[in-house]
Amino acid sequence: MTHPRPRHHEISVLPDREDLMAELASRLEALDALLSRLEDAERQAADAGEHLIRTRQWQEDTVRTIQEERARMRQRQQALDDLAEHARAAVEALQGSYRSLPPEVKQLEIELQVLNSSGFLSRRNGRTR
């Protein structure tokens, strides 16, 4: 004759249903938190990408502006050099024609020497005194 086992000694292999539901709810909350963090990271990455695009455009605009300004400066330098060359030629022509130069011509000669010695003129082939 076999004796039935008493109920209070039964060992439950499966956890209680309420414990499973609590564990599932906890895991769902954790997954929801992870999903929210992932969505935040995606938004931050998109924002960073847009910022990089705007920064790149700013850099390109800055480089273009610098290049344009350099071209303008070269044009101005060319014009200054041409003007100085013409002024030197005029001073030399007047020196050859007159014994005494008017004060304005002497002043122009001095200004050309100052511009040349200060490095404002890129052509240094003038023969100013």
Say how far apart CA 111 and CA 114 lie, in whole Å: 5
**Are 81 and 121 contacting, i.e. CB atoms less than 8 angstroms apart?**
yes
Integer Cα distance of 75 and 46 in angstroms: 44
Mean pLDDT, rounded, for 1-11: 54
Average pLDDT over residues 110-123: 91
Task: Quote the tokens at residue 121.
Answer: 């003129």
Give pLDDT, residue 128: 43
User: H/E element holding 31?
Assistant: helix 17-97
Q: 42-84: per-residue pLDDT in tens? A: 999 999 999 999 999 999 999 999 999 999 999 999 999 999 9
